[in-house]
Amino acid sequence: MSESTVRYSPRGRAGAIKGFLRRFLGYGGAQVGLVCLMFFLIVAAVPGILVGPLQTAINATGDFLVPPSSQHLLGTDEVGRDVLNLVVHGARISLTIALLATVISLVLGTTIGMTAGYYGGRADVWLMRLTDFFFVMPSFVLALVITPVVLEVMGRGGEILGLRPSLFVIIVVIGMTSWAFVARIVRSQTLSLKERTFIDRARIAGSSNLSIMVRHLLPNLVPQIGANGALVVAGAIYVETSLSFLGLGDPLQPSWGTLLSLAQRAGAASAGAWWCLGAPGVCVLMVSLSFVLIGNALDDTFNPRRRVIP
C-alpha cells in the first residue's frame, strides 16, 4: 500500500512553530529588529530601576542645556532635566500608546475587513465606503474633534488604565485612523480564502457564518494580520510622535514626541542643543525601523514568493 509508506515526522503545532521561527530568524532584518526592540522593551519595562523616577522641573538634577557629559550621558534640557531620564521614561509612554493603538486598529480592521469580504454584496459596499472614509481621515483633525468629547467623559484629571485624557485621545485617534489599512488587506485576503473548498466543507458540516469566520478564516489570516500589525505599530509610533509634537501630548506623561515638542518650543535647535532633539528623535527612528524590519521579515516568512519580483 503506497499510501502508508509516506514518512511522517512526528510534528504538530510545536514543530510548525519551530520551523517558522527558524525561517523567520534567518532574515538579518528580523534579527536586527528583534534585538533593537528587545532593548527598548526592557528599557520601557523598568525605567525606574535604570534611571530613577521621572524628573520634572522641581526635581531636576542638572544645569540648563548641558551638553552630554559623564554625569548626564545625553545632556540636560532647558529646565535642567536629564535627557536620558526623560527618554527612558518616554519609551514606556510611546510604546504603550503605539501598542494599544495597534490592538484597537487590528481588532477593528480585522472585524470589518473580514465581515465585508465574507458577506460581500451590500455589506461589503457600505463597510468599504466607511473604510475609505477613515483611510483618508487626517489623524490631527480627528484628534481635535474627539478631544473635547474625551475630556467631557473622563474629566481633565481622570485616568483610564493609568493614561491621562490626552494620551487616551492619541490612542483612540491612532486606532481609528489606522484600521482602514488593515481592513483592506484583510478583506482582500478573505475574498480569496472564502472561495477555497474548505469553506464549502465547513458549510456542509453545518457551521454558522460566525463559526466559519472565527474558526476557518481567522486562523488563515493570522500571518497577514501579524505582518501588517508590525507595520501598524511603526506607523503608530510616527503618528504619536507627530501628534505630540503638535502639542496634543501630555507634559506630565511625556512621550518621545512630547520631548521633541518641548525641546522645539524651548528653542533647542537654534541654541545648538542637538541632544535634546536628537535623543528622542533617534529613539523614534530606531523603534519604528525595527517594527518595519520585523514586519517585512514576517511577510517574507509567510509569503516567500512575494519578494522574488521586486
Q: Is 8 in the site for other proteins (CB under 8 A)?
A: yes
Shortest CA distance to 213 belongs to which of 70, 114, 103, 87?
114
Residue number with CB closer to other proteins (12 or 157): 12
Q: Decide if 267 contacts 275 (C-beta within 8 A).
A: no
Q: Which amino acid is at 80?
A: G
Fill in the per-residue mask, 214 to 233: x = in contact with other proteins (CB under 8 A), - = not in contact.
Answer: -xx--xx-------------
The answer to whether 309 contacts other proteins (rule: CB under 8 A) is no
Q: Does 14 bind other proteins (CB under 8 A)?
A: no
Number of shown-chain residues binding other proteins (CB under 8 A) = 28
Count other C-beta atoms under 10 Å from residue 158's C-beta.
13
From the CB of 260, what's the least distance to other proteins, in Å? 43
6 binds other proteins (CB under 8 A): yes
**Is residue 211 part of the contact set for other proteins (CB under 8 A)?**
yes
Site string for other proteins, 169-208 (x = CB under 8 A): ---------------------------xxx-xxxxxxxxx
Helix 28-45 and helix 274-302, axial crossing angle in degrees, nearest 10: 130
CB 193 within 8 A of CB 199: yes
CA angle, 204 as apex, 199 and 206 as ends, to 5°?
100
12 or 310: CB nearest other proteins:
12
For residue 226, the minimal CB distance to other proteins (Å) is 14
7 vs 156 by CB, closer to other proteins: 7
- 262 contact partners, CB below 8 Å, separation of at least 6: 77, 78, 251, 254
* Binding range to other proteins, per CB under 8 A, among 10-18, 62-70, 156-164, 291-299: 10-18
> Shortest gap between Cβ of 11 and other proteins (angstroms)?
7
Distance of alpha carbon 280 from alpha carbon 81, whole angstroms:
14
For other proteins, the closer of residues 12 and 162 by Cβ is: 12
Q: How far is the CB of 12 from other proteins (least distance, A)?
A: 5
Name every residue whose Cβ is closer than 8 Å to that of residue 297 and which is 6 or more positions away in sequence.
24, 27, 29, 30, 33
- DSSP-assigned beta bridge partners for residue 257: none
Q: With H, G, I as helix, E, B as strand and everything else as coil, classify residue 10.
A: coil
Residues that bind other proteins (CB under 8 A): 1-4, 6, 8-9, 11-12, 16, 196-198, 200-209, 211, 215-216, 219-220
